[in-house]
Structure 1
Amino acid sequence: MKRHLIAIAAAASLASGAASAQDEPLKIGAAVYGLQAEFMQIWSAALEEHPAVESGMVDLTIFDGRYDALVQQEQFETMITQGFDAIIFVPIDIEAGATAVQAAADAGIPVIGSNTRVNSDLLTAYVGSDDVQSGYMEAKIVLDAIGCEGNVVIIEGPIGQSAQIQRLEGNEKALAECPNVTVLQQQTANWSRAEAQTLMENWITAHPGEIDGVIGQNDEMALGAIEAIKAAGLAVDDFAIAGIDGVTDALMAVKRDEMSSILQDARAQAQGALDLAIQAATEEDHAPMSDIWEQYPDMAWAGGTEAEYNVPWTPVTMENVDALLERRQ
């Protein structure tokens, strides 16, 4: 009788183990270029708040790429060795990131791109926003404010990242419409507020009284320029300043009428990418779990079969800034 009970217990244990194995959470990694600035912190927090992560359906690991393509490559190798089911990729370098995607593809692991692009046709899908469009929009805001005449400076993102390349393309498209505007200086500050402040301090010294507008390819760098202007004892409202992302400090600066910003929806990019990663990992029809698909009805889920999903930009205005700030509470 005792042996019979042991046999039953063993069978039950095996069945339980089989059920557990079947119900194991999907192991999904997110390789992001860096977590130092607020935008990618917002993006990462949104990923952790996805219903599939909160319910335990997905076991999520976020890797900080530390703004280094080699570090991201090593993180891909770790995920491949550990048998991750899918990877979400936000690359620091449009070209170097292709090697990592190739390695994952060779291992049979689907890769979903988000926010920044990689020059590879092996991505399962991409969820992001049109950076050429945002670059044009922010530059046009600055150029309209200075009446299409005068001098501007451009503070660029990390050289070789898709957002830097495409936002610059948009910047230049707007500048081509204003032949009487001169670009006095143009240099990278690597998405960093501190680096941008140093650049702007140097430019104010080199071009006293000559700079009319500042085109910052992200908000952090536009905010750094504002800090430099204030430190120099100059009036911020003597400059037309624009950035991209809609980070919290930029929203506050818009409210103070110190700059313009264009909101990049980190939550939609991150959670949309995770829905697509689940679809790719299970190879089944997956009903998307995030509410972002209702938020942007023009960005149709389409069964998760599209190669690209384009999240719209939202210009930050005096009319919507308070509502946007409330979302950060």
Structure 2
Amino acid sequence: MKKKVLGRFAMKGLILASTMMIIAGCSSGASETSGDQGSDDEKITIGFQASGLETEYIAKLGDAMEKAAEDQGVDLVVMDGNYDINTVITQLDTLKNQNVDAIVVNALDAEALNSTVNQIVDSGTPVIGVTASLTAEKLTSYVGSPDVEGGRMAAEEIAEALDGKGNVVIFEGPIGISAQIERREGIYEVLEKYPDIKVLDEQTANWSRSEAMSLMENWIQKYGDKIDAVIGQNDEMALGALNALKDKNIKIPIVGIDGIDDAQKAVKDGEMVATIFQNAEEQGKKAVEVAIKAAKGEEVEKNYEVPFELIK
């Protein structure tokens, strides 16, 4: 299995690298392993376009897909969009032009990729969304966790910790990405049940721990001890907020989503009240399985759901 990680500064080497990969794949016959490609004469190549591999959860997702590709005996080309929509679109077009057999996309925006994805599917290449959904009508399939429910679970933990009364600040993901939209929906669905919980402020910190730390520092300066709790739409931002609060010797309830290792440790150490675990390994494995089936022309479902799990 061959893996290439390509970002916005590595595009010049993409064509040669991808062509070599496809040639290598085409020269390989089906193997007698648990990932046997059956009677196929050519080895399948899957492209994975990631929104941004600097985020721990997306990096874990990529690792899971790499392992699944190895187990299934297929090649995997990984591209890092570095959270830049123009880079993402360029990389998707490049994967199409390199004739990969299927593309898995971790969509940076719920709508901005629709035209590109629809065109790729029309050209004959199936496209599977993973973790972050998109509304492209021709999307072949989607593998992910129900983000509205994740938002609900996080907000319920904060409501319980506050006994239904207090002021919260909310860290949002990149505006327009499906998880930001849907987790926000779930959070507010719960908060509407608690009229004595007020949202002091909410802003994006782009899934970033460092951005969230800076934003939390600003909020501490602006609101002081009026802040009673923190909701992070992901763990990286929750942990950034935690770092800023610890620097000021402030301890308030904090919840995040994804269940990354540092967040689980913070929960265990009593520094966060909970994290909502999203199973990157299962999502990555299932996305590769679905991509292989779609590449072979087999029927796949439109949606595969991997449930969230509460860790507290």
Q: TM-score, normalised by structure 2?
A: 0.86
Q: Which is higher, the Rg of structure 1 or of structure 2?
A: 1
Gap change, CA 1:282 and 1:256, over 3 Å in 2: same
2:303 is matched with 308
1:135 is matched with 151
Q: Is the 8 A contact 2:170 2:199 kept in 1?
A: yes
Say if 2:37 is the partner of 1:34: no
Aligned to 1:138, the other structure's residue is in SS state helix
Aligned pairs for 1:1-329 within 5 A? 20=29, 23-50=41-68, 52-54=69-71, 57-234=73-250, 236=251, 239-259=252-272, 260-284=274-298, 305-317=300-312
**In structure 2, what is the Cα distance between the partners aligned to 1:174 and 1:67?**
29
Aligned length: 277
**In structure 2, what is the Cα distance between the partners aligned to 1:248 and 1:112?**
27
| Unmatched 5+ stretches in structure 1 | 1-16, 285-303, 318-329
Q: Percent identity?
A: 45
**In structure 1, what is the Cα distance between the partners aligned to 2:238 and 2:28?**
53
Q: Is the 8 A contact 2:231 2:256 kept in 1?
A: yes
Q: TM-score, normalised by structure 1?
A: 0.81
**In structure 1, what is the Cα distance between the partners aligned to 2:141 and 2:208?**
29
**In structure 1, what is the Cα distance between the partners aligned to 2:246 and 2:27?**
64
Gap change, CA 1:228 and 1:310, over 3 Å in 2: same
Q: Is the 8 A contact 1:69 1:91 kept in 2?
A: no
CA-to-partner distance for each residue in 1:244-301, whole Å, 9 max, x for gaps? 00111001101101111011001111110110110010114xxxxxxxxxxxxxxxxx
Q: CA deviation at 1:105?
A: 1.3
Q: CA deviation at 1:182?
A: 1.1
| Unmatched 5+ stretches in structure 2 | 1-25, 31-39
Q: Is the 8 A contact 1:143 1:213 kept in 2?
A: no
Q: How well do the aligned residues superpose, as a CA RMSD in angstroms?
A: 1.6
Aligned to 1:242, the other structure's residue is in SS state strand
Aligned to 1:49, the other structure's residue is in SS state helix
With 206-215 and 98-107 compared, the bigger mean Cα shift is at: 98-107
Q: Is the 8 A contact 1:129 1:312 kept in 2?
A: yes
CA-to-partner distance for each residue in 1:163-222, whole Å, 9 max, x for gaps? 000000011011101101111111000000000001111111111111111010000000
CA-to-partner distance for each residue in 1:39-93, whole Å, 9 max, x for gaps? 011100001111x4245x2110111011112111101111111111000011111
